[in-house]
């Protein structure tokens, strides 16, 4: 790596990435170390900022994410550089950027996010959805297509299935129910009922979170790369097709995967998608919403310890295996001894929590102080919305790691709420709360304090009994 022509600049802290993790880390550092120099290195001048934090309980936060022009929205102390990290010299503690800037650091934090893991990488008919470019591509294809194959069963696939209209969607899921990343078969049934009931008069869900300003800039900045779009991307960008009167807009192919995608230039549709269950679908293109892989698009003089999914392993202080280098958000792998009710999922919530933790930890290192891991890593919490409902996921909400030794208590009012408690030996281990249940704080306390609920039996979810009165 040649560095001869580069002038050496210097900063106390360098944070790489303008997503939630990077911005939260930089803001935390600027609050804790107001006199130190901070560089935020980001590929685009649009950064992500958390706004409208609403606590639903002590540790359950609902927030919006806004996209902002970096230069106007961060404190003067944070020097925003729009450029790409190319190389890290961890021995001499400096980085080189794509435009050959050389900047030394005392502490460096990598928040470079993740990219979609596509079912076929080199196939022009297969696209993923992650950032501005991919949305533009998706929008263009939707307008000139009649049928798409949607692969995947997480939040993004669920949003596409629900929000994209006027095009025939064949939704291929390997599980036996929809939206399996977040919900169980019962909740999936609850959604399907709501979806079918609403299909005639379906309106867009009410969005209380972000509205992207990026769409306004979208055309003029073609070719840019940026942070993950996140939820509600479909609210500002028209992602509807042009086909009217489709009899079955979303056809779900359960327990199947894509076996092959073949080009068929002479036929009506350009591709034939064969599924593992033998079905063959002719289609215009495939959306692969099949998860992400950490984005390590830079070189370094030393090898980072990695998790099995390719994330940079960090300890409870967000330190990587290389001294003075930290990582946070989608790019990292949580390599500490996890608490009983927390696990890693590549989500906004965790990008924010990890970015904040990295900032606190880096600030403490600079001052020679000691910090403890934030309490948020004790309990998995995630607030999102699917199919127009608020969803709160807590702890082992899908009985993760409980084997077969657990009980489930359910309460469902179609079109209104779905409440699932996961109990082991009478103690609440996780919960799914869909709709406006008001049970967030109670559930948080029950899981964290591991209160024995056996005396209440099934009454714990009896609609005539207000369980909040017992435990708040
Ligand atoms: C369509 C979609 C829907 C989603 N829905 C939800 C949801 O409902 N709820 C939820 O919690 N999460 C959701 N997510 C996931 C969530 O968006 C991510 O977990 C979160 O944004 C990760 O934040 P991050 O800061 O780690 O990474 P990112 O947001 O990906 O940011 C990475 C940043 O690093 C920059 N970068 C990368 N490489 C370099 C480099 N070499 N040099 C300089 N800069 C670099 C990028 O430009 C970017 O600014 C969704 C994601 C997508 C794509």
Provide mean pLDDT across the span 7-25: 94
**Integer Cα distance of 101 and 59 in angstroms:** 41
- Is residue 232 pLDDT above 80, yes or no? no
Q: How far away, in angstroms, is 412 Cα from ligand 1 center?
A: 34
Sequence-ordered list of residues with C-beta below 8 angstroms from that of 442, at least 6 positions apart, any chain = 467, 468, 471, 472
DSSP for 177-203, please give it. Answer: SSSTTT--HHHHHHHHHHHHHHSTT--
Same fold, 8-115+293-377 and 118-290: yes
Average pLDDT over all residues of the chain = 85
Q: How far away, in angstroms, is 264 Cα from ligand 1 center?
A: 35
Q: What is the pLDDT of residue 308?
A: 93
Q: What is the pLDDT of residue 76?
A: 81
Percent above pLDDT 90 for the chain: 53
Lookup result for tokens 């390590």 = 296
Closest Cα to atom 42 of ligand 1: 84
Give tens-digit pLDDT for 79-112.
999 999 999 999 999 999 999 999 999 999 999 9
Q: Which residue has the higher pLDDT, 2 or 283?
A: 283
Which range, of 279-288, 311-320, 355-364, 402-411, averages the lowest pLDDT?
402-411
Q: Are 352 and 19 in contact (CB under 8 A)?
A: no
**3-state SS, residue 449:** helix
Please say whether the structural domain 118-290 has been given the CATH code 1.10.3720.10.
Answer: no
Closest ligand 1 atom to Cα of 348:
11
Percent above pLDDT 70 for the chain: 86
Q: How far away, in angstroms, is 131 Cα from ligand 1 center?
A: 8
Which of the following CATH numbers is that of domain 8-115+293-377: 3.40.30.10, 3.50.50.60, 3.40.640.10, 1.10.12.10? 3.50.50.60
DSSP state of 459: G
Which range, of 264-278, 364-378, 383-397, averages the lowest pLDDT?
383-397
Q: Which of 25, 164, 179, 231 to mutate to test the pocket of ligand 1 (most atoms within 8 A of CB)?
A: 231
Tell me the pLDDT band of 73, cut-offs 50, 70 and 90.
low
- What pTM was estimated for this model as a whole? 0.84
Beta strands across the sheet bearing 78-82: 78-82, 38-42, 13-16, 107-110, 325-327
Provide mean pLDDT across the span 1-17: 80
Q: How far away, in angstroms, is 83 Cα from ligand 1 center?
A: 17
Q: What is the pLDDT of residue 51?
A: 79
DSSP state of 284: S
**Integer Cα distance of 207 and 209 in angstroms:** 6
Q: What is the pLDDT of residue 223?
A: 39
**Integer Cα distance of 166 and 143 in angstroms:** 9
- Is residue 298 pLDDT above 50, yes or no? yes
Which range, of 3-7, 316-320, 366-370, 371-375, averages the lowest pLDDT?
3-7
- Is residue 230 pLDDT above 60, yes or no? no
Closest ligand 1 atom to Cα of 328:
26
Q: Which long-range contacts (CB under 8 A, 24 or more apart) does 258-265 make?
A: 258/119, 258/149, 258/151, 258/172, 258/286, 261/120, 261/123, 261/125, 261/126, 261/286, 263/125
**3-state SS, residue 394:** strand
Domain layout of the chain by residue ranges: 8-115+293-377, 118-290, 396-471
- Is residue 67 pLDDT above 50, yes or no? yes
- Is residue 354 pLDDT above 70, yes or no? yes
Q: How far away, in angstroms, is 147 Cα from ligand 1 center?
A: 28
Q: Which residue has the higher pLDDT, 56 or 126?
A: 126
Tell me the pLDDT band of 206, cut-offs 50, 70 and 90.
very low
- Is residue 340 pLDDT above 60, yes or no? yes
**Integer Cα distance of 422 and 222 in angstroms:** 46
Q: Which residue has the higher pLDDT, 342 or 161?
A: 342
Q: What is the pLDDT of residue 212?
A: 27
Q: What is the pLDDT of residue 471?
A: 62
**3-state SS, residue 375:** helix
Q: Which residue has the higher pLDDT, 423 or 193?
A: 423
Phi-psi domain of 230 (left: phi exceeds 0; alpha: psi -120 through 50; beta: other): left
* Backbone dihedral angles phi then psi of residue 227, each to the nearest 5 degrees: -70, 165
Provide mean pLDDT across the span 114-139: 86
Give tens-digit pLDDT for 389-420.
889 999 999 888 888 888 888 888 888 889 99
Lookup result for tokens 């669920």 = 158
* Backbone dihedral angles phi then psi of residue 230, each to the nearest 5 degrees: 80, -175
Closest ligand 1 atom to Cα of 48:
29
**Integer Cα distance of 415 and 409 in angstroms:** 19
Q: Which of 16, 17, 224, 295 to mutate to test the pocket of ligand 1 (most atoms within 8 A of CB)?
A: 17
**Integer Cα distance of 231 and 149 in angstroms:** 21
Closest ligand 1 atom to Cα of 347:
19
Tell me the pLDDT band of 218, cut-offs 50, 70 and 90.
very low
Q: What is the pLDDT of residue 445?
A: 92
Q: What is the CATH number of domain 396-471?
A: 3.30.390
Give tens-digit pLDDT for 166-205.
899 999 999 888 777 777 777 777 777 665 455 444 443 3
Q: How far away, in angstroms, is 335 Cα from ligand 1 center?
A: 20
Highest mean pLDDT among 42-46, 345-349, 402-406: 345-349
Q: Which residues line ligand 1 (CB under 6 A)?
A: 16-22, 41-44, 48, 84-85, 111-114, 129-130, 155-156, 225-231, 233, 295, 297-298, 329-330, 346-349, 351, 384
- Is residue 249 pLDDT above 70, yes or no? yes
Q: Which of 97, 314, 347 to mutate to test the pocket of ligand 1 (most atoms within 8 A of CB)?
A: 347
**Smallest Cα–Cα separation from 19: which of 263, 242, 351?**
351
Q: What is the pLDDT of residue 200?
A: 43
């Amino acid at each position: 790596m040649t560095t001869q022509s580069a002038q050496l600049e210097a900063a106390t802290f360098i944070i790489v990435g303008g997503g939630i993790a990077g911005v939260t880390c930089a803001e935390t550092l600027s609050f804790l170390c107001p006199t130190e120099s901070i560089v935020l290195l980001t590929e685009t001048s649009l950064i992500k900022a958390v706004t409208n934090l609403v606590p639903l309980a002590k540790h359950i936060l609902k927030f919006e994410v806004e996209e902002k022009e970096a230069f106007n929205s961060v404190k003067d102390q944070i020097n925003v550089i729009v450029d790409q990290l190319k190389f890290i010299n961890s021995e001499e503690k400096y980085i080189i950027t794509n435009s050959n800037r050389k900047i030394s650091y005392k502490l460096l934090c990598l928040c470079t996010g993740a990219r979609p893991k596509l079912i076929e990488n080199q196939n022009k008919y297969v696209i993923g959805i992650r950032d501005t470019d991919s949305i533009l591509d998706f929008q263009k294809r939707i307008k000139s297509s009649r049928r798409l194959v949607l692969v995947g069963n997480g939040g993004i696939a669920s949003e596409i299935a629900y929000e994209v209209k006027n095009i025939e969607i064949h939704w291929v899921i390997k599980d036996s129910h929809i939206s399996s990343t977040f919900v169980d078969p019962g909740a999936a049934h609850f959604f399907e009922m709501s979806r079918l009931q609403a299909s005639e008069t379906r309106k867009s869900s009410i969005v209380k979170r972000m509205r992207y300003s990026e769409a306004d800039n979208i055309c003029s900045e073609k070719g840019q790369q940026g942070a993950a779009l996140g939820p509600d991307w479909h609210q500002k960008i028209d992602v509807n097709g042009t086909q009217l009167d489709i009899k079955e807009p979303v056809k779900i192919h359960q327990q199947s995967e894509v076996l092959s995608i073949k080009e068929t230039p002479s036929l009506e549709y350009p591709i034939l998608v064969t599924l593992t269950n033998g079905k063959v679908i002719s289609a215009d293109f495939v959306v692969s919403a099949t998860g992400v892989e950490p984005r390590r698009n830079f070189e370094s003089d030393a090898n980072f310890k990695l998790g099995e999914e390719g994330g940079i392993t960090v300890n409870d202080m967000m330190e990587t295996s290389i001294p003075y280098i930290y990582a946070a958000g989608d790019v990292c792998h949580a390599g500490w001894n996890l608490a009983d009710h927390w696990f890693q999922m590549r989500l906004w919530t965790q990008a924010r929590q990890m970015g904040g933790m990295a900032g606190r930890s880096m600030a403490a290192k600079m001052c020679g102080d000691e910090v403890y891991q934030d309490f948020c890593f004790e309990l998995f919490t995630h607030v999102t919305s699917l199919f127009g409902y608020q969803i709160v996921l807590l702890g082992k909400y899908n009985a993760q790691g409980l084997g077969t030794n657990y009980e489930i208590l359910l309460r469902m009012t179609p079109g209104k709420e779905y409440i699932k408690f996961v109990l082991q030996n009478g103690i609440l281990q996780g919960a799914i709360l869909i709709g406006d249940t008001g049970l967030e704080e109670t559930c948080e306390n029950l899981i964290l304090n591991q209160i024995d609920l056996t005396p209440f039996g099934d009454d714990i979810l009896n609609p005539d009994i207000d369980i909040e009165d017992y435990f708040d």
